[in-house]
Amino acid sequence: MVERQILVCSGSKTEDGFAINQYFVDHPEMALGELTSESTQYGREECTVRPIEGAVLAEQLAEAVQHIEGQYTEVEVETPDIADAENERHILPADPDVKNFSYTVVDGEVYYSCSKSQAVSCGKCFAT
């Protein structure tokens, strides 16, 4: 079971009343710029982070990452063999009589004509 700190995901408000992640309220130094407000294209004031003039974002990010507290545990993920998955899909040359981006049935199997050169199997066709 993975434990989560809800505080990081919960919202709070800035001094100006804008909704903001509680983490950045508690750690304003982790915002890579100046927290400010700006008029949007629709005339509404929105919270934004203005870049620091002359600062290099890559350097700021590298510095900020050094101050992140927490643990990272790599999870093993079983990766399917792509070759096996491709072999399970049936791909045929496209039938020139079938419109592009449409479906057709070949030998009881539904195919999607995804280009002028190939059709990909969608599965078996069952009569109802």
Domain annotation covers residue 72: no
Domain annotation covers residue 51: yes
Q: What DSSP assignment string belongs to 37-49? A: EEE-TTS-EEEEE
- Residue 10 has a pLDDT of 55
Confidence of residue 87 (pLDDT cuts 50, 70, 90): low
User: In angstroms, rounded to a whole number, what is the distance separating the alpha carbons of residues 52 and 27?
Assistant: 17
Domain annotation covers residue 110: yes
How many domains does one find in the chain? 2
- The domain of 58 spans 6-66
Give yes or no for residue 98 having a pLDDT over 70: yes
- Residue 62 has a pLDDT of 92
Domain annotation covers residue 91: yes
- Residue 60 has a pLDDT of 93
Give yes or no for residue 127 having a pLDDT over 60: no
Handedness of CA 66, 67, 71, 74 (dihedral sign): negative
Give yes or no for residue 86 having a pLDDT over 60: no
Which of 19, 38, 66 corresponds to the end of one domain? 66
